[in-house]
Structure 1
Amino acid sequence: MSEHRQGGPEDSGAVERAGHVEQGKYAIDNPGLPPHRPRLADEDPRAAKRAERQVSVLFVLSILGTLTFFIGYFVVGQIGPGTPFSTIRLQNTLLGLGTAFSMLGIGVGIVHWAKTLMPDHEWVEERHEVRTEEDRQIAEGMINDILDESQIKRRPLLRNTLIGAIALAPLPAVAIFRDLDNTDNRSDLAEENFGVERLRHTIWDEGVRLVRDPSGTPIKASDVAIGNAMHVIPESLLGRTHDKLNQKAKSVVLLMRLNPESLQISEGREDWNVDGIVAYSKICTHVGCPVALYEQHTHHLLCPCHQSTFDLTQECKVIFGPASHALPQLPITVDEEGFLVAQSDFHEPVGPVYWERDPNR
């Protein structure tokens, strides 16, 4: 028997291999680009104008959707206990429809614009050697081509309605996030707002004991050994019924004990620790994640969200990561019974930096 069977598919030519070249031809010829089929708007100016008006109507619909959202949000009013169900249903309907049409109008409008007015020719671009000056010229040419193909210069109605829709569309989200703070109209909170004042003050105060979270056990200085780390809350939080979770979110503290000789204490903070026992806010100064990882050997505190790292020996100075400033320190001392207590509230706002807060504070 011969080593290669005669008459098989390999010999008969019934099987063609991709990429096989025979007499200068590939097994599968390149079919090339299909012939371009002009659209109605390409040949009829009236159809192009009609498409332009349709796209503009969609952008205007987006603008009306945003305005509808604000009507439901501001005109209908705040929802609270005792609000009639009909009012709640009306507001929810306006908020939902407004958001939907705001996003839908922009999305559908841009798709319709691309399908009916922007050029739809296909072409093959050969690779070329990239040079610095040529690259700049090519990039500039591409930008000009995009502007020309989108016809945004030639059709100011499209441009202006699109700018209006895009400018208004993010505003509902801004309003929603600004209203995450649920400050009520009680007199003791009326002067506070979502700005820096809401995070400047916590329920820590002079003489408030530090207790373990969640057991509520008071802590004596003698109970904290070098290397220990405890999650701490103010004792006044235990009996609180109103706004308890919000206050806890601002007041949580990490308590640790180091060798006093390893602490680098700045002027004015000499009495903020008790024989090496220090307390710092648990809220990361980047975006507010809980700082809960303590490396005993390096004396570093780590935020698990974005790896911001704080050096406990340098008053929780940022040594790595995106956080912009140190964790606020809670001044502590001991009372007559030897329990750890706060000397005062934090001397700076807790939490992350935002547009209304000085990042250097």
Structure 2
Amino acid sequence: MNDHDNNLPAVPEGDEPVPNPGLPPHHWRPTDVDPKAEKRAERQVAAFFGVATVALLGFFVSYFAFQVGDNWDTIAGLGASNLMLGLTLAIAFLCIGIGLIHWARKLMTDQEIVELRHPAASSEEDRSTSVGLVLQGVDDSGIGRRPLVRNSLLGALGLVGLAPIIMLRDLGPLPGDKLLHTIWKPGMRVVRDVVGTPIHVSDLEIGDLVNAEPAAIFELDDEGHHVVEGVELQIAKSKGAVILLRMEPGEITPWKGRENWSVEGIVCFSKICTHVGCPISLNERTKHHLLCPCHQSTFDLADNGKVIFGPAARHLPQLPIEVDDEGYLVAQSDFTEPVGPSFWERDKT
């Protein structure tokens, strides 16, 4: 099909596809012709940015000033922290938005242009021209010659960037040294998982594997005994979960300093895989190998929990054990290294 098929005249090469309708007369804004109006608009924009800055400072103060938790601070029956955080952040964003719109409408260059649609693929010349137009736009915005607007905007936006950093604190308390210790203490009995019964040396035969945990009932504080119970107890026991395995004493090859960490062929290791923290309990009875069901990391319990297969990068931490006066298994101390999956500050030896 061509132009003649539709009785349409051919468009001469180089002509515009449609007649140029022209532009209406340009109407100058008050800020374009009146220096006082321009300065007034500039102060108004800076004022909006200034209010945003004050609101963001209020956000930071509210975050630390109002109590949350058991004794919530309230305002008109509402949680003061949530109310003030939401209100101050909303005011800040609202004022920044209004300031930007006011700046664009009153102070940025105002000129009508007409441009024909160009092909999707631009030439190098067009790209260079586009970069020039961007730079021209920066110049037209007046940000370089309006330090009051520029500085107030940068101040407000700078505080906006700090807001999410401050709120990272709500992800929870810093772990401190909690990753380096468990609830195990000298003399604490090793008890069977779930049922909580103490384990006598005579209870285990060669090849037996037992899932166990600390008999964590009390922790000492400055005023006496503090009962560990509920969620706190469950977390402590899960972190201190262990497995016991009995083998012939001659099959154990302890590292230097670990010669007395086992009792009559009974060894005790963390139940938490050092890869990503899965619970381990699959035992190859004749080889003393312990297999993690998640990613098949395999540890040799006869050789200090050494990794012999799989993605785990560290051996299983071993808990030194002994027997008390009644013949029950107890811990000599806490683990001498962190349990669980590796993290960035952990020694990889």
Q: Does 1:267 align with 2:248?
A: no
1:95 CA drift (Å): 1.4
Aligned-partner Cα distance in 1 for 2:329–2:246 = 16
Q: Which amino acid aligns with 2:154?
A: R
Aligned-partner Cα distance in 2 for 1:64–1:301 = 51
Q: Does 1:215 align with 2:195?
A: yes
Aligned-partner Cα distance in 2 for 1:302–1:146 = 61
State the structure with more CA Rg: 2
> Is the contact between residue 280 and residue 327 of structure 1 (CA under 8 Å) also seen in structure 2?
yes
Aligned-partner Cα distance in 2 for 1:102–1:248 = 40
2:232 alignment partner, one of 242, 246, 253: 246
The 3 A distance-change label for structure 1 pair 350 and 311 is same
The 3 A distance-change label for structure 1 pair 206 and 56 is same
Aligned-partner Cα distance in 2 for 1:41–1:228 = 87
> Is the contact between residue 310 and residue 319 of structure 1 (CA under 8 Å) also seen in structure 2?
yes
The 3 A distance-change label for structure 1 pair 334 and 171 is same
5 Å-filtered alignment, 1:1-361, equals 45=38, 47=41, 50-73=44-67, 88-89=73-74, 93-105=79-91, 107-108=93-94, 111-112=97-98, 126=120, 155-174=150-169, 176=170, 180=173, 195-196=176-177, 198=178, 200-221=180-201, 222-223=203-204, 226=207, 228=209, 230=211, 232-237=212-217, 242-244=227-229, 245-252=231-238, 253-257=241-245, 265-274=254-263, 275=265, 277-280=267-270, 282=272, 291-296=278-283, 299-301=290-292, 311-313=298-300, 315=305, 320=311, 328-335=317-324, 338-350=327-339, 358-360=345-347
Structure 2: state its 5+ residue gaps. Answer: 4-22, 220-224
> Is the contact between residue 317 and residue 338 of structure 2 (CA under 8 Å) also seen in structure 1?
yes
Normalising by structure 2, report the TM-score. 0.57
> Is the contact between residue 202 and residue 345 of structure 1 (CA under 8 Å) also seen in structure 2?
yes
The 3 A distance-change label for structure 1 pair 326 and 113 is farther
Aligned-partner Cα distance in 2 for 1:350–1:334 = 23
Normalising by structure 1, report the TM-score. 0.55
Structure 1: state its 5+ residue gaps. Answer: 1-20, 24-34, 131-136, 182-193
> Is the contact between residue 65 and residue 99 of structure 1 (CA under 8 Å) also seen in structure 2?
yes
Aligned-partner SS, 2:47: helix
1:290-318 CA-to-partner distances (Å, cap 9, x unmatched) read: 63244546734367xxx7x8653263669
